[in-house]
Structure 1
Amino acid sequence: MESVGAAVSYKGFRFPAEVISHAVWLYHRFPLSFREVEELLLVRGVVVSHETIRQWCDQFGPQYAAGLCRRWPQAGDKWHLDEVFIKVNGGRQYLWRAVDQDGNVLDILVQSKRDAKAAKRFMAKLMKKQRRVPRVLVTDKLRSYGVTHRELMSSVEHRSHKGLNNRAENSHQPTRQRERAMKYFRSPGAAQKFLAVFSQISPHFRPRRHLMTAPGYRAEMRHRFTTWNQITGAAGLPATP
């Protein structure tokens, strides 16, 4: 298979793709700080500052995330939408998230409100990205969803019930782990930038393990690491977890 990672250029960087992609993987896969990633690399004999790791994540994280997104199959036709508050510089913002029936993240958006205007903005962004509407839309009882549904996709079946939306609510758990590790986000823009990348990279390494046998899980993880190496151009890294 032709490597998608060939499109990622490391020209001008002192460290090879294997080191850079490994650092980005560590930061987005586990609730680690840049200094902790620096320490883990030091154990492997790689001397690099936490500020350099931050620059790698800022520059290459979005490219890796886009590469993973291109590899994913088309999203399912049942969309679950939910919103949760996050701390941004001591204040409150809302993270809007959409996932399909398989738990794949379709889109996220950080906004200051959870009213109908915010719901409409997120749903319009979601439809533009997906280039279609779902067969079924599942939300909680927030009335903003009902207003937006009637205005933007009235022909779509809308199921509004708290108990039906566990899929979207469960997808917030990795974000909560990262939020605790990071204490808070510096700004809404920084939160949007990080979570847009995190929402693509983290799920790639989180298959639904409870549905797999141990050999099946290991085989799936080998496949996912191989895909990661192809996207990042780090073919020299082991393809095993």
Structure 2
Amino acid sequence: MQTQKISYKRHRFPPQIIAHVVWLYVRFNLSLREVEEMMLGRGVDVSYETIRRWTVKFGPLIAHVLRRRQPGPGDVWHLDEVVVKIAGRSYWLWRAVDQNGVVLEEILQSRRDKRAAKRLLVKLMKRRGFVPKRIITDKLRSYGAAKREVAPGLDHWSHKGLLWLPSLMQDVFQTS
């Protein structure tokens, strides 16, 4: 798939100003008039209606370019679950985070069993399109059972204190 080149032809302002204005509006949850005032403070006289048109025209293209620039997820995934009370009922929030701290997936389940862990792993691997090098979990046995069904060759570390160690320390523990 080819990326679409953003064309700023037939616009009075330079591309850097247009891109900056759209970025300000989208990134910082500002109103159109607030962005207009900010730009006026910088010496650029642009109306809020022009900012709205630029956002409609260039916003999706700029977002697409920025998403493509993001690096892919890491190959070491940390999986964990936490109990959450919603309307008086207990649920389990299952999370997967890569070694860089990027949240890969979150699933809310009513149970804390092998089926829920398997659902998380399958959803992660489908969405990311690859099997990680290693998963690191707490001592919950559901992860091991789910891993055996989904990806038997996957390296799995299960240790109570290992989940939050920096990645350099994990490599030290693996070699010893």
* TM-score normalised per structure 2: 0.57
Match of 2:151 among 129, 150, 153: 153
Tell me which residue corresponds to 2:70. Answer: 72
The alpha-carbon deviation at position 88 of structure 1 amounts to 1.7
Q: Distance in 2 between matches of 1:166 and 1:135?
A: 17
User: Once superposed, which parts of structure 1, at least 4 consecutive aligned residues long, lie more than 4 Å away?
Assistant: 16-21, 66-70
The alpha-carbon deviation at position 123 of structure 1 amounts to 0.7
The alpha-carbon deviation at position 126 of structure 1 amounts to 0.4
The alpha-carbon deviation at position 114 of structure 1 amounts to 1.2
Q: Greater share of helix residues, 1 or 2?
A: 1
Match of 2:110 among 112, 116, 126: 112
Q: Distance in 2 between matches of 1:117 and 1:84?
A: 16
Structure 1 unmatched runs, 5+: 4-15, 25-37, 45-63, 168-241
Change (3 A) 1:71 1:95: farther
Q: Distance in 2 between matches of 1:92 and 1:105?
A: 22
Tell me which residue corresponds to 2:130. Answer: 132
Q: Aligned pairs, how many? A: 120
Change (3 A) 1:89 1:75: same
* TM-score normalised per structure 1: 0.43
Q: Distance in 2 between matches of 1:100 and 1:19?
A: 30
Residue identity (%): 46
Tell me which residue corresponds to 2:51. Answer: none
Tell me which residue corresponds to 1:92. Answer: 90
Q: Distance in 1 between matches of 2:161 and 2:28?
A: 39
Change (3 A) 1:93 1:70: farther
The one-letter code matched in structure 2 to 1:163 is G
SS at match of 1:23: coil
Change (3 A) 1:98 1:144: same
Q: Greater share of strand residues, 1 or 2?
A: 2
Structure 2 unmatched runs, 5+: 7-20, 38-62, 166-176
The one-letter code matched in structure 1 to 2:29 is A
- 1:15-34 CA distances to partner (integer Å, 9 max, x unpaired)? x965565338xxxxxxxxxx
The one-letter code matched in structure 2 to 1:122 is L
Q: Compute the RMSD of aligned alpha carbons.
A: 3.1
Q: Distance in 1 between matches of 2:126 and 2:162?
A: 25
Q: Distance in 2 between matches of 1:67 and 1:79?
A: 26
Match of 1:22 among 24, 28, 31: 28
